A and B are shown apart, each in its own frame.
Chain A
Amino acid sequence: MSGAGGSGEPVLSIRNHIRLDYRFTAGRAQSRFLRAIAQGKILGQRCPACLKVYVPVRGACPACGVPTEEEVEVADRGTVTTFCVVNVPFYGQRIKIPYVSATILLDGADIGLMHLVQEVEAADVHMGMRVEAVWCDPSDMGPSLESIRYFRPSGEPDAPYESYKAYV
């Protein structure tokens, strides 16, 4: 406790240490996604009702409220649909600012995946830019999106706006 030393001063705060440990359950669908990404594959699932392909898989289509079972491997390259340039330093930051966090529509997917875009000046990143995944060394691959270090420009021509405007 801090504050009040018995002198009639108000108690302004107390310190109550709380630690609760949890064991997260990824679930059936996400477990398959995480196992695949450890092997360098990106898995999606197609909704049987609206036919959209969700990445990462969730086991459900949140729009239709139905289970998704059909698995679809999507490409490890895609199109930047939107992005932001991070200029704010924060505790634990591992990348030099400014850097780009982008929503990337992987080829074959119907939902953007959030990831970093590197090997390019932040000022040169733009909507429609084609990017490809840069994977970790095989020895560092694991059941985590961090198995992809970042995306970088693939050198392909920009995707036309019409091709991704439904996903912005």
Chain B
Amino acid sequence: MREVAVVSFAQAPSVRRQDELNEVEILMPVVQEAVARSGIGSKEIGFTVSGSCDYLAGQPFAFVSGLDAVGAWPPIQESHVEMDGAWALYEAWVRLQHGDVDSALVYSFGKSSLGDLPDVLVHQLDPYVLAPLWPDSVSLAALQARAWLETGHEEEEMAQVVARSRRAALSNPNAQLAGEPSVPELLAAPHLVSPLRRHDCPPISDGAAALVLAAGDLARRVCERPAWIVGIDHRAEAHGLGVRDLAASPSASMAASNAGGAGGVQVAELHAPFSHQELILSEAMGLGPDTEVNPSGGALAANPMMVAGLIRVGEAARRVMDGSATRVLAHATSGPCLQQNLVCVMEGR
């Protein structure tokens, strides 16, 4: 495999509702910052790929306008996935394996504030038998949380995840929710959709992120300490929720194993929008007590749709690039109840 590394990352601060700026205006400074930090000229980038979802904007081909932020003239090699930007990163990594281009720009953006997100997400479900019932995303996550609790867990464990996320987010300037709530305080809050409390759910966020990948010698030349991708894999489970064991995540387990495993991982950034999902994922991937999980606060602190997974890769890569970690793991999820999972393991050398 060709050596490929993350050499720069940038993100917009996540906010509940960015009323003043449209998607391109949120995205453009982020793309410019990522490209500038990469030390690779914007016209020298070999491949550009983005992740976003037209349902968030309510406009067909809304993703095309994102290209305004890139400068697609003379014509560029470009692609798009209707997925979180982490899957765009996967495509970029595959593209760089071809060997004819040495760098790639990956970006994603999402303005969830334009519509009613839990209802918008209904339309990722089976359109014939499930979507007509309008099961919203929080209710489906609650079904999963219940299934997981029934395997011998306590709501207190979920509250501990939230307390740690909020505390960690205090040092993340891009986070939306931060604070120092105690576990008893959290447990005293009423249920939103039992067994989930409001704080067990992710905030609704507007945001954008971008990173630059470079291969081999180019990465070494432009970056003092590139975050080398040593393994990346993604797996999907069945679309029908009824045929899955919602309390476990075999797809996350397999993706982590194929990406090199959790052994020696110092920092893991997990895309767990709901508190119980972090615990399902940690167990599925075999993360041990020596791994620091979601020092950014994770998706409970900021969850821009289609972006939060790419942010996990960027946050983890940043820890390698700044020298504070040597082996990190980033995870992204998509679909209802952790249906699809991507794991990317990176190392500094």
Contacts and interface: CB of A to CB of B under 8 A. Distances in A.
Report if A and B associate in a common complex: yes
Interface of A: 14, 16, 18, 20-30, 58-67
A61 B19 contact: no
B73 A62 contact: yes
Contacts of A60: 24-25, 28, 68-69
A27 B119 contact: no
Given A22-B57, A60-B28, A16 B132 contact: yes
A63 B43 CA distance: 11
Interface residues of B, number: 34
A63 B57 CA distance: 23
Contacts of A30: 22
Given A16-B132, A60-B28, A65 B69 contact: yes
Interface in B25-78: 25, 28-29, 31-32, 42, 55, 57-58, 67-73
Nearest to A63: B73
Contacts of B127: 16
A18 B71 CA distance: 36
Contacts of B20: 25, 27-28
A65 B45 CA distance: 13
B150 interface: no
20 contacts: A16-B127, A16-B128, A16-B132, A18-B123, A21-B115, A23-B115, A25-B19, A25-B22, A27-B24, A28-B20, A28-B25, A58-B68, A59-B22, A59-B68, A60-B24, A60-B25, A60-B69, A63-B71, A63-B72, A65-B69
Contacts of B28: 59-60, 65, 67
B193 interface: no
Nearest to A26: B22
Interface string B235-273: 000000000000000000000000000000000000000
Contact of B128 (A14, A27, A58): A14
Given A16-B132, A21-B116, A65-B42, A28 B21 contact: yes
Contacts of B29: 67
Contacts, number: 82
Given A20-B119, A22-B114, A24-B114, A62 B67 contact: yes
A91 B70 CA distance: 37
Given A20-B115, A20-B120, 11 more contacts: A14-B132, A20-B58, A23-B114, A23-B115, A25-B21, A27-B21, A27-B25, A60-B68, A63-B72, A63-B73, A65-B28
A58 B72 CA distance: 15
A64 B71 contact: yes
- The DSSP consensus for interface residues of chain A is loop
Contacts of B312: none
A81 B233 CA distance: 51
Contacts of B131: 16, 18
B22 A66 contact: no
B97 interface: no
A65 B31 contact: yes
Given A25-B19, A62-B72, A63-B73, A20 B116 contact: yes
Given A25-B114, A65-B71, A59 B24 contact: yes
A114 to B, nearest CB: 17
Interface in B170-186: none
A101 to B, nearest CB: 21
